[in-house]
Amino acid sequence: MEFRPSILRLIVYAVMVLCAVTVSAQEHNDPRWITTWATSPSTLPPENNDYQSVNNQTLRLIIHTSVGGEAFRLRLSNYHGDQAINIGAVSVALQESNSTISSNSALSVTFNGQESINLPRGAVVFSDAITADVPELLNLSVSIYFS
């Protein structure tokens, strides 16, 4: 699958990867998902005709948690995309430094029990809950493999 650079920017800026954690809100007795990190969609620069492929490549996004918890989910969005994208695998790990991850912290992310997912144009999907301690004020590395 070929992507224009604007689509690549869209993936990086508007994929809307959210890390959410479960906490008990004061006025509720049941656990709630809350957002700990998000990106904001932005206007893309004008299109050009240079095509750049992200087929069979992994993009690594660093997210900074503001609150911690005992579980998390990721939200992926192709809301502003102009075509479907195939995601072959997603993983999350603690960031050590720069793009290096702590090797013993890597966790696979699934969507309805599946490691891969086709994200149609305009679609939004939440991952299955991942039970793991999520520290507050820490960087997590999210790797997304585009197949």
pTM of the model: 0.72
Q: Is residue 27 part of a domain?
A: yes
In a domain, 42, yes or no: no
- Does residue 48 form part of some domain? no
Question: Would you say residue 13 lies in a domain?
Answer: yes
Residue 43 lies in a domain: no
Please check whether residue 17 is in contact with residue 39, taking contact to mean a CB–CB distance below 8 angstroms: yes
Minimal CA–CA distance to 69: which of 112, 36, 108?
36
**What is the average pLDDT across 32-57?**
67
If you write DSSP's letter for every residue of 30-57 in order, what string do you get? SEEEEEEE-----PPPPP-S--EE-TTE
At 9-34, the pLDDT tens digits run 444 444 444 444 444 334 555 677 77
Could you report the per-residue pLDDT of 113-122, keeping only the tens digit for each? 999 999 999 9
Q: Domain span at residue 66?
A: 2-37+53-146
Domain count, the chain: 1
Does residue 45 fall inside a structural domain? no
Asked, for residue 119, whether it belongs to a domain, the answer is: yes
